[in-house]
Amino acid sequence: MKLNELTAYEISKLIRKGEVSSEEVTRSVFERIEKVEKKIGSFITLMKETKGAANPQLVNKLFKKKIDFL
């Protein structure tokens, strides 16, 4: 299964079921960007290492609390 080919809704279902973590989704997105960015050139800066760029731990907490944000 390629996470980058799924919709946000499909990914949210997988996270809720515990079949994939938000960390895995985030990692998959950055891997895909690294793979195709040289051809596409759509990002000026990727902030993988900063706290503000993506917070998969917060997403996991929201899903566990059943907060529906999608």
Looking at residues 46-52, what average pLDDT do you find?
61
pLDDT of 52 > 50? The answer is no
Q: Report d(CA 63, CA 17) in Å as an integer.
A: 10
pLDDT at 7: 95
Percent of the chain with pLDDT over 90: 16
pLDDT band at 53 (very low <50, low <70, confident <90, very high): very low
Q: Model pTM?
A: 0.65
* Residue 56 confidence class, pLDDT cut points 50, 70, 90: low
Q: Which long-range contacts (CB under 8 A, 24 or more apart) does 57-65 make?
A: 57/22, 57/23, 59/15, 59/22, 60/15, 60/21, 60/22, 60/23, 63/12, 63/15, 63/16, 63/22
